[in-house]
Chain A
């Protein structure tokens, strides 16, 4: 018997006016997986999460949770979520907030247990307005788990936390997910995805541009960018650079060239061997934004070739 996967997105799309925030996502997440949704701001992570939870209606495709409508899974208490911009009331205490949400659920955990599991018991009697950033996120986490959900969706759960807070947060997450829970979290920290997920789905411009183990995704991001200017026209050099096996992106702006590659040595050898007029040469470690750009333009090129 194969149970329905916690999340199945099929051709999922969302259009806001002229902006296609989510542009055809196919993604299945199986029971027990801990998946990082990695991408820069504006990649469509939060919109995808809203669609998956049934908080907004897709313009195309479908989102299923446990083989059914998202709302049914929510009503059954099988999904818990920490949303961006889903905050607690400042005038209530932590324990009141958790109790309110618990009251709204059909079969909640005892409030005290939710508080203990989220590690917020120490400041449970404090007003939400007086919590530190890290404490607030933990309080929101307590609210997210009070229905004892099988699937947890966390949208940038460690935003506003310092490094120490992040580590503590993920440690308590590990304890919770040890029991076969499925976790999906959005982040724009590669190190966080690397350390805590066993699968990384990279999103850019509303699409999935890479999907694999953290090691695979890190390799994609690991490259360098070589940039230089030439005094004479570049001729067919950009074309030949594109044909190098490790090159992911070649960007030409007049006499200026930027090449993204996981083998910057090969790029430099080719350029310096042929072009004595190359100057202002720079080799820089790739930022994640560069990696996303490389992946996205690769996906675009693929589509254009089809």
Chain B
């Protein structure tokens, strides 16, 4: 593993304009709109026992973090179409280091995005929650995006540049809505709540909510997200070997 390369590549992405708009500005804007819509007067969501404002903060934090993960698809598709990958193949860098660098970049951008959302929530909207709970919620959202970075890598491996955009949009919209990242599931039709149980974004949100509630009941979300991580890793490895064998 080449840590120097991985860090340089991650910092480079953090400075990219697209990641700023998609993963910072949009979730903050939505937090400012929805946070004050549901969250006035510190009302509490009966389903989770969390104040609406905190719940919205977790949703938007998760949404931004998920974007940080998913938008790696653009990075990869771009780098492939430009030929940057060919350039990298003339270095000692291994395929797995390249993929790890994308996950690390996703984690770095996600960390910054989660922090920004929480800060806006606390400083601008005056959300009330203890520091340990914020920390737990933030950590849960952060670590939970690994499967999303892997989904992005899978899209990046398969999609042609012109196909990446629609594929990304479908994935991203589906995960956002079904996982209850935009609108709380408790106010959506009940069948969507059932579908949500298999979607990683639901469990990402859940991980954040549990952290915010100070609950240690994280076994189920950890298992589901872990299963997604394992499945996606297997698919990526298979695809990578398949491509290498064909070249």
- A104 interface contact, C-beta 8 A: yes
Determine whether the beta carbon of A88 is less than 8 Å from that of B90. no
Which listed residue (A85, A96, A101, A106) contacts B83, Cβ 8 A? Answer: A85
Contacts of B92 in A (CB 8 A): 74-77, 104-106
- B128 interface contact, C-beta 8 A: no
Contacts of B84 in A (CB 8 A): 86-89
Q: Which of A79-104 contact B (CB under 8 A)?
A: 79-81, 83, 85-92, 96, 99-101, 103-104
Which listed residue (A79, A86, A100) contacts B8, Cβ 8 A? Answer: A100
Determine whether the beta carbon of B247 is less than 8 Å from that of A104. no
Contacts of B16 in A (CB 8 A): 91
Q: How far is the CA of A57 from the CA of B245 in the complex (A)?
A: 8
- A296 interface contact, C-beta 8 A: no
Determine the main DSSP class of A at the interface with B: loop
- B239 interface contact, C-beta 8 A: no
* Proximity string of chain A (10-36) to chain B, C-beta cutoff 8 Å, 1 when within and 0 when not: 000000000000000000000000000
* Proximity string of chain A (122-146) to chain B, C-beta cutoff 8 Å, 1 when within and 0 when not: 0000000000000000000001000
Contacts of B9 in A (CB 8 A): 100
- A55 interface contact, C-beta 8 A: yes
Determine whether the beta carbon of B83 is less than 8 Å from that of A104. no
- A203 interface contact, C-beta 8 A: no
Which listed residue (B12, B78, B79, B91) contacts A101, Cβ 8 A? Answer: B91
Determine whether the beta carbon of B90 is less than 8 Å from that of A81. yes
- A56 interface contact, C-beta 8 A: yes
- A261 interface contact, C-beta 8 A: no
Number of A-B residue pairs, CB cutoff 8 Å, is 68
Q: How far is the CA of A103 from the CA of B2 in the complex (A)?
A: 8
Determine whether the beta carbon of B86 is less than 8 Å from that of A86. yes
Contacts of B2 in A (CB 8 A): 103-104
Taking A74-B91, A74-B92, A77-B92 as contacts, is the C-beta distance between A89 and B86 under 8 angstroms?
A: no
- Name which residue of chain B comes closest to A143, CB basis: B87
Min CB gap B1→A, angstroms: 12
- A147 interface contact, C-beta 8 A: yes
* Proximity string of chain B (207-247) to chain A, C-beta cutoff 8 Å, 1 when within and 0 when not: 00000000000000000000000000000000000000001
Determine whether the beta carbon of B83 is less than 8 Å from that of A147. no
Taking A104-B93, A105-B92 as contacts, is the C-beta distance between A55 and B5 under 8 angstroms?
A: no
* Proximity string of chain A (61-87) to chain B, C-beta cutoff 8 Å, 1 when within and 0 when not: 000000000000011110111010111
- B82 interface contact, C-beta 8 A: yes
Determine whether the beta carbon of B247 is less than 8 Å from that of A55. yes
Q: How far is the CA of A234 from the CA of B8 in the complex (A)?
A: 72
- A38 interface contact, C-beta 8 A: no
* Proximity string of chain A (28-56) to chain B, C-beta cutoff 8 Å, 1 when within and 0 when not: 00000000000000000000000001011
* Proximity string of chain B (69-99) to chain A, C-beta cutoff 8 Å, 1 when within and 0 when not: 0000000001100111011111111000000
Contacts of A96 in B (CB 8 A): 8, 12
17 sampled A-B residue pairs with Cβ under 8 A: A56-B247, A86-B83, A86-B86, A87-B82, A88-B82, A88-B84, A89-B78, A89-B84, A90-B82, A92-B12, A100-B8, A101-B87, A104-B2, A104-B5, A104-B93, A105-B92, A106-B92
Q: Which residues of A contact B (CB under 8 A)?
A: 53, 55-57, 74-77, 79-81, 83, 85-92, 96, 99-101, 103-106, 143, 147
Query: What 4 A-B pairs come out closest when comparing CB atoms?
Result: A104-B91, A103-B5, A86-B86, A104-B93
Given contacts A74-B89, A83-B87, could you give 9 more A-B pairs where the C-beta distance is less than 8 Å?
A55-B247, A74-B90, A87-B83, A87-B87, A88-B82, A100-B8, A100-B9, A105-B92, A106-B92
